[in-house]
C-alpha cells in the first residue's frame, strides 16, 4: 500500500492511541505497564495520545502499581526522549488530557482549550518538532473531540483556526487523535485546508478503531499535509484489546521537499 516513492528520505512513523487513562474496563486494574510495553512494539517516532492521566489520587490509592510519574513521562521513559502534555479535564482528584511523545526535539508546545460546554472538557495540543535534515518544523496537533456533533463541528473549526494562524502553508503538518466522529463529518473542514486522512488516502476510507475487540466505528484519525503516505496499519489483537477500548493506528510518512509543495 505505497502512495509514493520515499526516495532517499527516511520514513517517519507516527501513531495515535486513546489509552483509556491506563486502566482496564470499569477501572478494575491498572494496565499502564503493559501499555508501555505495547507502545514500544510499534517503534513509532512520534506518538499522539489521548486520555492521558497527569495525576489521579484515586487510582494511585487503588492500584499498587500505579506510577508515581505522570503517565506521559512514564510511557516515554527514555524510549521517547521528549514528551509534552496538555490538561483537558480537571477534577478534584486529578486531571487528564492529550500527550505527544517524540524521538525528536519539541521546540514549542501549546495547549488550547476547545471545550464547548461545561460537561465535556476538550483541548488540542500543538507541538512543533525539529526533524533531522529539515529546516522547517513539523507541526503536530493532538486532538480529542467531543461526543456531541454540534461540539465537534465547533471544535474542528477551532482546530482549523489554529492551523491558519500558527502553521505556515509550506510546513509539514499532522493532526491526529480521537475524533469521536462516527458520522464521518469532521473531515470535511480539514479537507478544505488540504489535510488528508492517511487511511482514506490508501484505502478510500478511514480505519475502524472502536471498540478495540471488534472495531466497527471509525473514530480515530491521522490527517496530514505536506507529507506523503507510505503505509498505515491498525493494531488489533488480544494484547492490544485488553489495554483500551480504542485500537491504535500507525502510519509511515515521508516529508515532502519544499519545492514539491509549491
pLDDT at 259: 60
CA angle centred on 137, ends 134 and 141, rounded to 5°: 140
In a domain, 7, yes or no: no
| 3-state SS, residue 9 | coil
Q: Copy the grid coordinates of residue 48.
A: 499522539
Domain that holds residue 216: 12-261
Closest Cα to residue 138, out of 214, 240, 45? 45
DSSP letter, residue 123: E
Q: Copy the grid coordinates of residue 119.
A: 460537561
pLDDT tens per residue across span 62-112: 888 899 999 999 999 989 999 999 999 888 898 999 999 999 999 999 999
Closest Cα to residue 134, out of 226, 43, 224, 14? 226
In a domain, 156, yes or no: yes
Residue written as grid cell 502512495? 3
Number of domains in the chain: 1
In a domain, 242, yes or no: yes
Low-confidence ranges of the chain (pLDDT < 50): 1-6, 262
In a domain, 230, yes or no: yes
In a domain, 5, yes or no: no
In a domain, 3, yes or no: no
In a domain, 49, yes or no: yes
pLDDT at 4: 44
pLDDT at 60: 86
| 3-state SS, residue 144 | strand
Instruction: Identify the CATH number of the domain in which residue 196 sits.
Output: 3.60.10.10
In a domain, 2, yes or no: no
* Bridge partners of residue 111, in order along the sequence: 125
pLDDT at 138: 98
Q: What is the pTM of this model?
A: 0.94
Amino acid at each position: 500500500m505505497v502512495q509514493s516513492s520515499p526516495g532517499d528520505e527516511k520514513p517517519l512513523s507516527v501513531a495515535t492511541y486513546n489509552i483509556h487513562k491506563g486502566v482496564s474496563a470499569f477501572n478494575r486494574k491498572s494496565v499502564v505497564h503493559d501499555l508501555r510495553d505495547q507502545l514500544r512494539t510499534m517503534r513509532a517516532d512520534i506518538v499522539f495520545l489521548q486520555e492521558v492521566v497527569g495525576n489521579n489520587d484515586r487510582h494511585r490509592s487503588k492500584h499498587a502499581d500505579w506510577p508515581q510519574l505522570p503517565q506521559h513521562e512514564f510511557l516515554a521513559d527514555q524510549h521517547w526522549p521528549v514528551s509534552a502534555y496538555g490538561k483537558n479535564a480537571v477534577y478534584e482528584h486529578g486531571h487528564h488530557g492529550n500527550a505527544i511523545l517524540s524521538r525528536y526535539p519539541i521546540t514549542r508546545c501549546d495547549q488550547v482549550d476547545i471545550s464547548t460546554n461545561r460537561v465535556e472538557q476538550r483541548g488540542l495540543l500543538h507541538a512543533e518538532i525539529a526533524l533531522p535534515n529539515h529546516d522547517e518544523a513539523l507541526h503536530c496537533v493532538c486532538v480529542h473531540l467531543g461526543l456531541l456533533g454540534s461540539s465537534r463541528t465547533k471544535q474542528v473549526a477551532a482546530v482549523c483556526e489554529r492551523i491558519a494562524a500558527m502553521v505556515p502553508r509550506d510546513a509539514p503538518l499532522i493532526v491526529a487523535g480521537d475524533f469521536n466522529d462516527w458520522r464521518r463529518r469532521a473531515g470535511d473542514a480539514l479537507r478544505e485546508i488540504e489535510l488528508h486522512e492517511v487511511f482514506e488516502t490508501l484505502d478510500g476510507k478511514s480505519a475502524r478503531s472502536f471498540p478495540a475487540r471488534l472495531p466497527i466505528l471509525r473514530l480515530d484519525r491521522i490527517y496530514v499535509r505536506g507529507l506523503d503516505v507510505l503505509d498505515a496499519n491498525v493494531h488489533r489483537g488480544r494484547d492490544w484489546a485488553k489495554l483500551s477500548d480504542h485500537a491504535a493506528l500507525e502510519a509511515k510518512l515521508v516529508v515532502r521537499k519544499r519545492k514539491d509543495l509549491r
